[in-house]
Amino acid sequence: MTKTPPRKIAVIGDRFMLSSMFEEALRERCKLVEIEISSHDLPWPDEPMEHGYAVQGMDGLKEYMGSADQVVELTGDAEILVTHLAPLSSSIMDRLPRLKLVAVSRGGPVNIDMKAARERGITVVNTPGRNASAVAEFTIGAILAETRNITRGHEALRNGDYRGDLYRADVTGRELSEMTVGLVGYGEVGRRVVKFLKAFGCRILVSDPYVQLSAEDLRDGVIQCSFDRILEESDVLSLHPRVTPETTRMMNAETLRRMKKDATLVNTARGPLMDYEALYEVMKEGHLRGAMLETFSVEPVPPDSPLLKLPNVTLTPHIAGASVKTVRYAAGLAAEEVRRYFAGEGPLNRC
């Protein structure tokens, strides 16, 4: 009797989404199938990814790492590719005729040409909400860093300045329990931020025209309202929507100046939501008390960016979603999709 050959899976991870964690999850979930796994790790984040600049043969792809030849070589004749950042353009797919399933461990498969995948009968699945818990926790930290002068005190001490003036009533921070916090976006991250904020006793506003508040949040006094009301009433405004034509540069010169004077702005979502030149002018004039920026219009941030010079702005290098739990959870979601594929079950998160 001829033995059935093992099903081949190529794993292209990196130094965040480790191929070893993908492989561990795959072997745990796919015990009933004989599999052969080839694992590789790309050098991101120690080396930068491509962010959508024009690269020949990669039209329409964003946030990826690896060349066409590299991806073809690492994938080989595998039936399944599990990856985080490897690009798959139409020309790369043409060189991988055995490929049937791609599991991308991110919320949006921006490194995949989805139209080309559909045309070739390649199923693409993703891992929505993989880092929602990590980003929500980070958001709370970002809010506290700004509202309680944590960043200001830290920077001063590192520069040899013991800022006792941060205890002055006209300088010191306010507690969340006496503030109104407005959230734009009520998706996976926004809902978790609302849950965390309730513990602080603050008044919570949410603006999202496409999603209704949960019954629990309504019972707990969370208020769903317009974006205009969020701008007018929030002491802290935190951004959590997806980037769409509607939300691109939603925070611009006009909307920023409609925010309350001395309010705080937090962006742990995506850079295109912000007009950073307008934000610089508003912050330089002192209209807002502070801003915490986790993402930017250009990444890495250019060293001559004027935002780096402002004392009332805290910046971090797009790390809100970085946690070990994110890696483990995303690897498990991807592995479950592979198990379902082998079992003939439909995908949970088909793109």
The residues annotated with a catalytic role in the active site are 270, 299, 318
Q: What are residue 205's DSSP bridge partners?
A: 182, 223
CA-CA-CA-CA torsion for 52, 56, 57, 58, nearest 10 degrees? -10
Tell the residue number behind the tokens 């080839």, with chain if given: 38
Strand pairing class (236-239; 223-224): unpaired
Q: Identify whether the C-beta of residue 82 lies closer than 8 Å to the C-beta of residue 22.
A: yes
